[in-house]
């Protein structure tokens, strides 16, 4: 099984396909988005890690969850796999990790495509802000994937969600100055019925130099317009945008 020792974790990852490197980053409480792999693997060497407590990577209850730390874990994985830089495609929390990498580890990110990602907590809808603050981990049904994959066992699910809750209820908090410093060509994707508001996506689009914005109609959280993303990743013109 492909595990790498990363900052005190045994971090699980998978590598698929050949070509330029692409990091595929999953959403919060999720695991490797297997349904997306067949779209990218004909064109890229896809590296798909599972963050602390997610998928097959065990939780560390002595370490709080922060996007900054998960980005650092991802960069350390790249270092150990001898990947100097890569395109990054991230969904939800994975997109926030991608933004953090582009801000704090810019040399590692050649291109960035994120869907359902926000730069600030108030970028969520009011309803989702309230849900993030008030949901009860003990009453949240355990996901099938967590039951199937987690080395911590299904009984750890409420503990895991309880540990994620403080991060989800306060982060991220990127400043406009940090967003303006992103040098990687960036594609921002949001559904018009996303938990991230289109208005916030527009704010991010205005702040990140040369970024592109895709608002998908009749779509919710984490929509992935594959052809649009692939065109962006393979478009040489966007390298100099």
**CATH code where residue 154 lies:** 3.40.50.1820
pTM of this prediction? 0.97
Token digits of residue 27: 């959403």
* Domain boundaries, position 22: 3-240
Token digits of residue 201: 């996506």
Q: What is the pLDDT along the chain (241 residues), one digit of tens a residue?
A: 699 999 999 999 999 999 999 999 999 999 999 999 999 999 999 999 999 999 999 999 999 999 999 999 999 999 999 999 999 999 999 999 999 999 999 999 999 999 999 999 999 999 999 999 999 999 999 999 999 999 999 999 999 999 999 999 999 999 999 999 999 999 999 999 999 999 999 999 999 999 999 999 999 999 999 999 999 999 985 664 4
Domain count, the chain: 1
What confidence score (pLDDT) does residue 236 get?
82
CB within 8 Å of 19: residues ≥ 6 apart: 43, 44, 45
Mapped onto helix, strand or coil, the DSSP state of residue 10 is strand
Which letter does DSSP use for residue 196 in this model?
B
Q: How far apart are CA 209 and CA 154, in angstroms?
A: 43
């Amino acid at each position: 099984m492909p595990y790498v020792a990363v900052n005190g974790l045994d971090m699980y990852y998978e590598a698929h396909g050949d070509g330029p490197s692409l990091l595929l980053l999953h959403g919060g409480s999720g695991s490797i988005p297997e349904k997306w792999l067949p779209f990218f693997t004909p064109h890229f060497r896809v590296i798909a890690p599972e963050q602390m407590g997610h998928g097959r990577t065990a939780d560390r209850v002595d370490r709080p969850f922060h996007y900054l730390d998960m980005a650092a874990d991802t960069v350390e994985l790249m270092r150990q796999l001898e990947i100097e830089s890569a395109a990054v495609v991230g969904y939800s929390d994975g997109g926030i990790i991608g933004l953090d990498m582009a801000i704090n580890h810019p040399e590692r990110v050649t291109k960035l495509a994120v869907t359902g990602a926000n730069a600030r907590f108030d970028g969520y809808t009011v309803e989702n802000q309230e849900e993030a603050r008030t949901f009860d981990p003990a009453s949240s049904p355990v996901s099938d994937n967590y039951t199937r994959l987690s080395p911590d066992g299904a009984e750890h699910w409420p503990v895991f969600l309880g540990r994620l809750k403080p991060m989800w209820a306060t982060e991220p908090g990127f400043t406009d100055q940090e967003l303006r410093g992103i040098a990687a060509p960036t594609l921002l994707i949001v559904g018009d019925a996303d938990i991230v508001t289109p208005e916030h996506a527009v704010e991010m689009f205005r702040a990140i130099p040369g970024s592109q914005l895709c608002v998908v109609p009749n779509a919710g959280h984490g929509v992935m317009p594959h052809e649009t993303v692939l065109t962006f990743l393979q478009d040489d013109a966007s390298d100099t945008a």
